[in-house]
Amino acid sequence: MPFSNLAQHTHDSLTRRALALKNTEPLEVHRITFRTGEISLGAEPMSIAEELRRWTKLSSRWIYVFDTTAIQAERKALIESFSKARDGKTEKFRYARLNSESGESNTLYVGSSESIRTRIRNHLGYAVGPSSLNMAYWAGMPDIEIRLQAARYPDSLSKEALCDLEDWLSISLSPVFGKRGSA
């Protein structure tokens, strides 16, 4: 019977996962700050491209966060630009989920990747991939400052552990876009 001792097995599994994460720290954290006005159709901004190329040489386990210090009205305008792009989307792109239209959260997106350069290029709209922000396609986007922070973890960190870290960060920061944890 699949439900026999389910709670105990789940408890034991979660306990092992928690113990494995207890002393996990990023090896380093990288940051890029840019303005949305730099993001447009065509070539990606060289400052971002060069930094991402440098990160790619470091490791393959990353957790990243896009956030902004823009005021709520600017964040709401950003959400409107996203919604227009998503609603007029082509088959080429899959847009991230919109979690809130209020613009209350400063956190735009939380994610993890084993290919940080490609994943960030997806979000900026310069590479086609899984559900992403695709920012280059957001017409009428307000020119606000966005910060990308990315933490590099050891390649020995399991995918499950990376997912657990991302899930907790996503749940705690309540990003405007993307999934919130595994749910």
- What are the sequence ranges of the domains in the chain? 37-173
Reported confidence tier of residue 89, pLDDT bands at 50, 70, 90: low
Model confidence over 126-140: pLDDT tens digits? 888 778 999 998 888
Residue pair 111/166 in contact by the 8 Å Cβ criterion: yes
Positive/negative CA dihedral, 97, 100, 102, 103: negative
Distance CA 127, CA 39 (A): 13
Look up residue 44 and give its DSSP letter: P
CB 106 within 8 A of CB 76: no
* Ordered strands of the 107-113 beta sheet: 28-35, 145-153, 61-68, 107-113
Collapse the DSSP code of 109 into the 3-class scheme (helix H, G, I; strand E, B; otherwise coil) and give the result. strand
Q: Average pLDDT, whole number, for the chain?
A: 89
Q: Strand pairing partners for 44?
A: none
What's the mean pLDDT in 79-97?
A: 84
pLDDT band per the 50, 70, 90 thresholds, residue 183: very low
Instruction: Average the pLDDT over each of 71-80, 81-90, 165-174 and give the range with the smallest value.
Output: 81-90
Q: Supply the pLDDT for residue 181.
A: 56
Q: Does residue 75 register a pLDDT over 90?
A: yes
Q: Which element (helix H / strand E) includes 162?
A: helix 159-173
Please give the average per-residue pLDDT across 106-132, as a whole number: 90
